[in-house]
Homo-oligomer: A and B are copies of this chain.
Amino acid sequence: MTVRQLSVPELVDACGRLGVRHVGLWREPVRSHGLEATAKLVRDAGLAVSTLCRGGFLTAVDPGERAGALADNRRAIDEAATLGTDTLVLVSGGLPPGSRDLRGARERVADALADLGPYAASHGVRLAVEPLHPMFAADRCVVSTLAQALDLAERFPAHQVGVAVDTYHVWWDDTAPAQIARAGAAGRIHTFQLADWTTPLPEGVLNGRGQLGDGSIDLRAWKDHVEAAGYTGPIEVELFNDGLWARDGREVLAETASRFLEHAA
C-alpha cells in the first residue's frame, strides 16, 4: 500500500531492483492482477510475501453480515495460503451503526477468532490481530492497544492467533514495550510494521501515516523492543499517505528503503 500507484508486476520488478526480498500485499491489488498470477509472479521473482492485508471487520451483530464476514475471512485465508505467506493481518472493525458497546464488539471479535483460528491453522496461516490507534476505535477497529489484542489472542494457540505490532498505532503507549515482551515470550508477534507519526492529521485521519524519519516516533527503539522480544521476521513499512501516493512509485519505494536504512536498520 505504500506504493499503491504501482501495479503488482511493477512492484515486483522494483523490489527486485532495490534488493527488497519480502513484500506485504493487500487483497485488492492481488485480485486485480489475479491471485494465481500474483503467486506465480512473486515466486518466480524470488520474492517472499511477508503478510496479506487484510481480513477482519468482525464486529457486526446482524447474523447475515456476520456469516458474510466469516466467509470473506476464510477466502482471505485461502488467498494467503496460495500466496505462500503464513500471516493474515486482521483489522477488527468498528462499532456497528448506533452502537456504543465497545466491550460487546470486542467479544464478537473473539467469537469470530474461535471460528477462523482453526481454519487458518489448517491452511498453514496465522492470524495477526492488529490493534489500531485509539482514534480508530469507533469506525475501524475496536481493538486499540496491544494489551487488548493479546487478551484476545491468548484465548487461542499462538500458531492460530497472534498480533501485529505497528509503530504508528502503539508509539504513544508507555505500556507497549512490556506488551511486546509479553507477545514475544508467547511467540505471538506475527508481524512488525513501521510508519512515522506526522501532524497535522488529515481529515478522516486514515491517510496521514508519515514517511520514516519525518515524524515523532523513535523507530529504532521500537525495532529494538520487538527484536529483544525474539522477533526475527521481516519488517514491513506501511504508509497510507496521499502525498506519497501522488509521486512516482519507484522513487517512493527507493526513498522508503533508504529511510529504513537510516532510521531503523
B139 and A200 contacting across the interface, CB-CB below 8 Å: yes
Known: A95-B216, A135-B205. A174 touches B148 (CB 8 A): yes
CA distance A133 to B146 in the complex (A): 16
Task: Point out which of A101, A134, A139, A175 has the most chain B C-beta atoms below 10 A from its C-beta.
Answer: A134
Residues of B within 8 A of A173 (CB): 134, 144-145
Chain A 182-201 near chain B by CB (<8 Å), digits 1 or 0? 00000000000000010111
Chain A 69-104 near chain B by CB (<8 Å), digits 1 or 0? 000000000000000000000000001000111110
Grouping DSSP codes into helix (H, G, I), strand (E, B) and loop, the A interface class, with mixed when no group exceeds half, is: loop
| 8 A Cβ contacts from A145-192 to B | 145, 147-148, 171-175
> Which residue of the partner chain, among B103, B134, B174, contacts A103 with CB atoms under 8 Å?
B174
Residues of B within 8 A of A203 (CB): 200-203
The count of chain A contact residues (Cβ–Cβ below 8 Å) is: 34
* Smallest CB separation, A205 vs chain B (Å): 5
CA distance A48 to B172 in the complex (A): 36
